[in-house]
Structure 1
Amino acid sequence: MSTKTGILCIGEILWDALPSALYLGGAPLNVCYHLNRFGINASIASRVGRDRLGSEAINRIRRKGIPVDQIQEDNDYETGFVCVKLSTSGDPTYNIIEPVAWDYIRLTQSLKNKAQQCWGLVFGSLAQRNDVSRHTIQQLWEFDVKKILDMNLRTPFVDKSIIYDSLSVSDIVKMNEDELNQLSDWYGFSADTPKAVEQVARKFDCRLVCVTRGADGAMLYREGEWYEHKGFPVKAKDAVGAGDAFLAALLHGIKNNKKSSELLPFANATGALVAQKDGATPAYSIQDILVELEETGRE
């Protein structure tokens, strides 16, 4: 039995420019933050520029208690930056600047050592848009860790071959309904969501596939069994980071050997709690999530 407990999240560190303020983010960093909220030893591997935003990013990450030893600094490229627009319902759209520092994450010996020590590796598709970071991420797939794909398709950075390769190595996959529809268009999967999910799991030999459905909750297919939770009705301030919090809560449950039927209520409550707050990484506790569960009900 493996004694590994840590999780390595690799990919983009960037600043989200929302209407309300400038927020530090990037899906892998957000997931890393939320994992640490749950007491999981999670690290972020990324790259920032040697600029003001890069220095501020490292300082803020350090203050949150997240290890910064795998954050590289770049002399040639600036720290990542994204312009975010929110719809009236709080759903975000993104203008992701390129090229930036996180496109050039290098495969160092220190990074390889870290990956070897971890239980899981969280990665997405966006950070693979550049050859350098893509090579680094794919080299880490060779290690004995659970590969966790947080799909995060972001137009125009959508490459069918990269998604195929990523799905092919993944043990755990989280996607939203739009991303599932994209896979169905590519591979001719069923228009029926449950059938399409089963086809994804079968084609790519994934042990767990989770599909988030926004206000309608989420669906989970795990080793041949289905679970569904309709979510919690909340008034969202912004939905940025809610899916990242959801994934961290899901992994928390998996690592702690929670029953499959318990995973989605807790993960949905976490996502709902974060959606009601400003920014992707607000302060909260597990007790806050339990209160959210109690107040809104488990069904």
Structure 2
Amino acid sequence: MKFVAVGEVVWDIFPARQVLGGAPINVAYHLAALGLPVGVITRVGNDELGRAALDRLAELGLPLAGVQRDPALPTGQVRVEFGADGEPVYDIVAPAAWDNIDPEQALAAAEEGDGKDGEDGFSLIFGTLAQRDPRSRQAIRRLAVAARYRYYDVNLRPPFTTRELVVESLEQADLVKVNGDELTQLGLWLGLSPMGKIEAGEGGLPPSAPREQLAAAIIARYRLQALVVTEGAAGAWVRTAEQTWAAAGEPVQVADTVGSGDAFFAALIAACRQKLPWPEILALANRRGAYVAGQPGATPEMPSL
């Protein structure tokens, strides 16, 4: 089964360089590096950055069949700066070509290579940001209905990622990934954390009882198969309908954290496909996420880890 990543393609403009990025691109790259069949659905402008994006996607070994061209809107850009804590701060330029993904073209690209009756199918990987415009939102909704399985990375980017978009996405998802702050925000939005911010357990892992209960409540409300929570250097944990598992983080000298969560997500998806036990899935995902955090850029050459 093919894994289709849909959403934004952007040039991340750093103080000293520019790098092609966007969570869907990063996840697709890391899935391909793990040997899985991938498709990318996005849209670039008819401009110099758009042509450079197509060249870079080809260099990364990603298929171009699902990359649409927009005659009017520009290729996406994100200006990236880093705070005192080393975490990236994003200024996402709007509007952009990826706001205008065409639903019919998207479905055709996602289903390319299926059998006559679509028996092969595809798994969809999507986030919240690319749904900020109703045009791309419609395309993603159509893909979610057609997909056999749906992986959703909440990946909040205010002010574009609203409560409405997140709730609608949770209703479409099978497996959801959030970070610790996003879990707290979900609780507030959904009325599941009336006491406000929910603190992590000692060292971040294992989760405290309130955090675990919050995750369980979200799973029950949206009938998710799993909710995966990343806690930075502390590691990650997952809640299913039945149980919670946790795995400590990997030590790393951080170069920059851009793309590390996407590498984590790709490794998680690949390990889930192999039906590995959850502790092993989390350990593998932590390892690849930490490796990328130790490298400059979101799509470094990936060794076998």
Contact 2:23 2:262 in 1 (8 A): yes
SS of match in other structure, 1:15? strand
Matches of 1:218 and 1:250 in 2, distance apart? 11
SS of match in other structure, 1:81? strand
Aligned twin of 2:22: 26
Aligned counterpart for 2:159 among listed residues 153, 156, 159: 156
SS of match in other structure, 2:185? helix
Q: Does 1:78 align with 2:74?
A: yes
**Equivalent pairs, count:** 283
Q: Kindly state the Cα deviation for residue 19 of structure 1 after the two structures are TM-superposed.
A: 2.7
Contact 1:129 1:157 in 2 (8 A): yes
Question: Could you say if the C-alpha distance between residues 269 and 78 of structure 1 is closer, same or farther in structure 2, counting changes exceeding 3 Å?
Answer: same
Q: Does 1:250 align with 2:268?
A: yes
Contact 2:216 2:240 in 1 (8 A): no
Contact 1:44 1:67 in 2 (8 A): yes
Alignment of 1:1-299 (within 5 A): 5-109=1-105, 111-112=107-108, 114-115=110-111, 117-190=120-193, 191=198, 192-286=210-304, 289=305
Matches of 1:42 and 1:20 in 2, distance apart? 31
Matches of 1:238 and 1:193 in 2, distance apart? 28
Q: Kindly state the Cα deviation for residue 119 of structure 1 after the two structures are TM-superposed.
A: 3.4
Matches of 2:229 and 2:76 in 1, distance apart? 28
More displaced stretch, 187-196 vs 122-131: 187-196
Q: Kindly state the Cα deviation for residue 188 of structure 1 after the two structures are TM-superposed.
A: 2.2
Matches of 2:186 and 2:73 in 1, distance apart? 33
SS of match in other structure, 1:271? helix
Q: Kindly state the Cα deviation for residue 109 of structure 1 after the two structures are TM-superposed.
A: 4.7
Contact 1:6 1:40 in 2 (8 A): yes
Matches of 2:105 and 2:53 in 1, distance apart? 23
One-letter amino acid of the counterpart of residue 237, structure 1: A
One-letter amino acid of the counterpart of residue 68, structure 1: L
Measured on the aligned residues, the alpha-carbon RMSD in Å equals 1.4
Q: Kindly state the Cα deviation for residue 87 of structure 1 after the two structures are TM-superposed.
A: 2.5
Unaligned stretches of 5+ in structure 2?
112-117, 199-209
Matches of 2:159 and 2:213 in 1, distance apart? 28
Q: Kindly state the Cα deviation for residue 110 of structure 1 after the two structures are TM-superposed.
A: 5.9
Aligned twin of 1:295: none
SS of match in other structure, 1:132? helix
Contact 2:264 2:286 in 1 (8 A): yes
Aligned twin of 2:203: none
SS of match in other structure, 1:142? helix
| Identity score, percent | 37
Matches of 2:45 and 2:234 in 1, distance apart? 39
Contact 2:264 2:285 in 1 (8 A): yes
Contact 1:90 1:237 in 2 (8 A): no
Contact 2:220 2:241 in 1 (8 A): no
Question: Could you say if the C-alpha distance between residues 207 and 232 of structure 1 is closer, same or farther in structure 2, counting changes exceeding 3 Å?
Answer: same
One-letter amino acid of the counterpart of residue 148, structure 2: V
Structure 1 residues 171-196: Cα deviation after superposition (integer angstroms, max 9, x where no partner): 01001111111111112224321111
Matches of 1:11 and 1:113 in 2, distance apart? 13
TM-score (norm 2): 0.89
